[in-house]
């Protein structure tokens, strides 16, 4: 007898709908699994056999063929245990065969018949809904994740026997409806660092506010101990929480990567990713043997912080150019190509020179000009040209360090960022972007219109700094953000000058070459 159970293979963001076909025929007892299974799937036949017997069912003493279709898609992981077991029970008549129609099943089995959590459940539910599935059986620990879409009849299953009883009785309750709150409110910072904890550095605090309001990429460079890492960690405290659409996208990516905790629901705060400089290109950009999302995708709608950026591989840093520009990363392998979202906010931080003493009045820099240029060349001019805001830092004085923090400073900055974010969401409603940093080049004239005085100010700055065309657009986008922070509809000359000031380091001759030769 033939039975078919629907399941899911996590391939890319959407995944692939998999049909687990089970056929029982006469012959020597045994199980054959076909359809490009990996080692974990091939081993499932032993787990399933013991789990069925320990759950009080009869394992058929016949020849069993399990086909995972489509056969051209590689099947990985242990999430096929439960659908294979239910397929065997349906094919042997221990579960009504018609009860598994339009039902997607996910779950790993232990030897006692219990169901373990699996990865990619949110993506699986979305794929199943698009394919017409109405019922979903998922591990109990994945129930909150599966119900995040508020669609379909979803049941949390703790054991194989519970799944069989639920199918036999058709006792699958509907998903609980949840509220869809899109109100933007200040979000707490998991790191516990606030902008008010930064001593001195008035220009830096303003730059962090601008970066958070428009999601502009940021470069921080200065001697060790000048506050680069702390400032980057304070940036998430300024970001508003994710709206529902963003939250679903971020949660789906983390689910595919296996980073969701058991019984975790939607991720509501912008992610903050800080990979070590020893990370591989696959770890940062994604890929590997299993084609999983990398740090650029895990930081989607959040912050990717690369501390000591020149210590990362040069090819890895240059590989960031396309995701920074387009908000997507495409990973191509032989016979397979996947595409993951990567709309992150990049923050780079590093010393001004290899020894770190350039710019310190009380320390002597022992680096030659050639060494300094080589050090900065690791980051590359092409990537630096895509960074909107560049802030040089110097160590603060002892008196500034002893100054008391003002908690109202952080609250006021967050309030301005939230108000600017709301302005942008309303302005770009119905478009495929919602932040000033993502304004396409073809839409610059529409959303960043300038009067004659502003154009003259921008032209003088461009001629003086010899900026590129990309930098020209970057200044206009930042000027739009500065105007939003001031609740000003037109862009004023002061906004142009402020944007140029944030952008000026790194264009043309770098500041450290002057007087250092």
Q: What is the DSSP string of 308-347?
A: TGGGS-HHHHHTTHHHHHHSEEEEEETTEEEEEE---EEE
Burial of 23 (0-12, 13-18, 19+ CB in 10 A): middle
Q: What are phi and psi of 90, to 5 degrees?
A: -70, -40
Task: Give residue for tokens 């142009």.
Answer: 496
77 closest CA partner among 20, 124, 127, 37: 37
Which residues, 6+ apart, have CB-to-CB distance to 386 below 8 Å? 217, 321, 324, 325, 470
Interior CA angle at 137 toward 125 and 167, to 5°? Answer: 140
The CA distances from residue 211 to 320, 421, 503, in Å, are 19, 11, 12
Task: Judge if the upstream peptide bond of residue 70 is cis by omega within 30 degrees of 0.
Answer: yes
Neighbouring-strand partners of residue 306 = 348
Distance CA 32, CA 445 (A): 63
pTM over 0.85: yes
The CA distances from residue 479 to 95, 212, 422, 451, 501, in Å, are 65, 14, 17, 13, 11
Identify whether the C-beta of residue 244 lies closer than 8 Å to the C-beta of residue 423. no
For helices 452-465 and 469-485, what crossing angle results, to 10°?
130
Three-state secondary structure string covering 87-107: HHHHHCCCCCHHHHCCEEECC
The CA distances from residue 498 to 128, 475, 490, in Å, are 50, 9, 15
Helices (H) and strands (E) in the chain, counts: 21, 18
Distance CA 117, CA 190 (A): 26
Helix (H) or strand (E) holding 349: strand 345-350
What number does CATH give the domain 195-432?
A: 3.40.50.300
Identify whether the C-beta of residue 350 lies closer than 8 Å to the C-beta of residue 229. no
480 closest CA partner among 415, 429, 434, 430: 434
Render each residue's pLDDT in the chain as its tens digit; 517 residues.
799 999 999 888 888 999 999 999 988 899 999 999 998 899 999 999 999 999 999 999 999 999 999 998 889 888 999 999 999 999 999 999 888 988 999 999 999 999 999 999 999 999 999 999 999 999 999 999 999 999 999 999 999 999 999 888 754 444 443 333 344 444 444 556 788 888 888 889 999 999 999 999 999 998 888 889 999 999 999 999 999 999 999 999 999 998 988 888 889 999 999 999 999 999 999 988 778 899 999 999 999 999 999 999 888 999 999 999 999 999 887 767 889 999 999 999 999 899 988 877 778 889 998 998 889 888 988 899 999 999 998 888 777 787 777 778 888 999 999 999 999 999 999 999 999 999 999 999 999 999 999 999 999 888 877 678 888 999 999 999 999 999 999 999 999 999 999 987 644 434 444 333 3
Distance CA 206, CA 201 (A): 9
Q: What is the pLDDT of residue 190?
A: 52
Eight-class DSSP state of 184? -
**Positive or negative, the Cα torsion across 261, 267, 272, 277?**
positive
| Encoded tokens for 337 | 């190509």
Q: What are phi and psi of 384, to 5 degrees?
A: -60, -35
Q: What is the pLDDT of residue 79?
A: 93
Q: What is the pLDDT of residue 185?
A: 45
**Positive or negative, the Cα torsion across 383, 384, 389, 390?**
positive
Q: What SS3 state is found at 475?
A: helix
| Encoded tokens for 286 | 């994604």
**Alpha helical stretches, state H, 352-468:** 369-377, 381-384, 398-401, 407-427, 444-447, 452-465
Distance CA 9, CA 37 (A): 11
Task: Give residue for tokens 């502003």.
Answer: 454
CATH 3.30.230.10 domain position(s) in the chain: 2-169
Task: Give residue for tokens 């659409």.
Answer: 245
Helix (H) or strand (E) holding 304: strand 303-307
What number does CATH give the domain 2-169?
A: 3.30.230.10
Identify whether the C-beta of residue 232 lies closer than 8 Å to the C-beta of residue 435. no
CATH 3.40.50.300 domain position(s) in the chain: 195-432
Tens digits of residue pLDDT in 88-115: 999 999 999 888 988 999 999 999 999 9
């Amino acid at each position: 007898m033939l039975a078919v159970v629907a399941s899911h293979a996590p391939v890319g963001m959407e995944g692939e709908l998999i049909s687990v076909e089970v056929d029982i025929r006469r012959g020597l007892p045994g199980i054959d699994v076909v359809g490009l299974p990996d080692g974990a799937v091939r081993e499932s036949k032993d787990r399933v056999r013991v789990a069925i017997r320990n759950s009080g069912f009869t394992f058929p003493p016949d020849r069993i063929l399990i086909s995972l279709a489509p056969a051209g898609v590689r099947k990985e992981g242990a999430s096929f245990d439960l659908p294979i077991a239910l397929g065997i029970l349906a094919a042997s008549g221990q579960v009504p065969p018609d009860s598994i129609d339009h039902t997607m099943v996910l779950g790993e089995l232990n030897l006692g018949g219990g169901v373990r959590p699996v990865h990619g459940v949110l993506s699986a539910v979305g794929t199943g809904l698009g394919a017409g599935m109405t019922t979903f059986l998922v591990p109990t620990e994945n129930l909150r994740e599966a119900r995040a879409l508020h669609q379909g009849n979803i049941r949390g299953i703790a054991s194989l026997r519970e799944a069989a009883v639920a199918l036999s009785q058709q006792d699958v309750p509907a998903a609980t409806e949840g509220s869809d709150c899109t109100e933007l409110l200040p979000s707490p910072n998991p790191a516990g660092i606030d902008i008010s904890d930064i001593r001195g550095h008035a220009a830096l605090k303003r730059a962090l506010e601008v970066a958070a309001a428009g999601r502009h990429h940021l470069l921080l460079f200065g001697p060790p101990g000048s506050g680069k890492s702390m400032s980057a960690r304070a940036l998430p405290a300024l970001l508003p929480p994710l709206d529902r659409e963003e939250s679903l996208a971020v949660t789906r990516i983390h689910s595919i990567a296996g980073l969701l905790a058991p019984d975790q629901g939607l991720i509501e705060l912008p992610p903050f990713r800080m990979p070590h400089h020893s990370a591989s290109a696959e770890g940062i950009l994604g890929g590997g043997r299993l084609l999983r999302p990398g740090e650029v995708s895990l930081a989607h709608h959040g912050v990717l912080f690369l501390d000591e950026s020149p210590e990362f591989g040069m090819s890895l840093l240059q590989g960031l150019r396309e995701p920074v520009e387009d908000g997507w990363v495409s990973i191509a392998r032989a016979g397979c190509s996947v595409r993951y979202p990567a709309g992150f906010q990049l923050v780079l931080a590093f010393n001004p020179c290899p020894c770190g003493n350039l710019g310190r009045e009380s320390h002597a820099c022992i680096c030659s000009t050639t060494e300094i240029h080589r050090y900065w060349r690791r980051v590359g001019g092409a990537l630096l040209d895509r960074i909107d805001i560049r802030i040089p830092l110097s160590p603060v004085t002892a008196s500034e360090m002893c100054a008391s923090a003002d908690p109202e400073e952080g609250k006021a900055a967050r309030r301005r960022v939230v108000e600017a974010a709301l302005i942008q969401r309303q302005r770009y409603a119905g478009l495929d972007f919602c932040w000033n940093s993502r304004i396409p080049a073809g839409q610059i004239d529409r959303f960043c219109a300038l009067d004659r005085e502003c154009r003259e100010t921008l032209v003088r700055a461009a001629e003086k700094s010899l900026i590129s065309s990309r930098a020209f657009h970057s200044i206009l986008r930042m000027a739009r953000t500065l105007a939003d922070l001031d609740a000003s509809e037109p862009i004023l000359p002061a906004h142009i000058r402020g944007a140029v000031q944030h952008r000026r380091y790194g264009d043309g001759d770098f500041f450290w070459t002057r007087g250092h030769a």
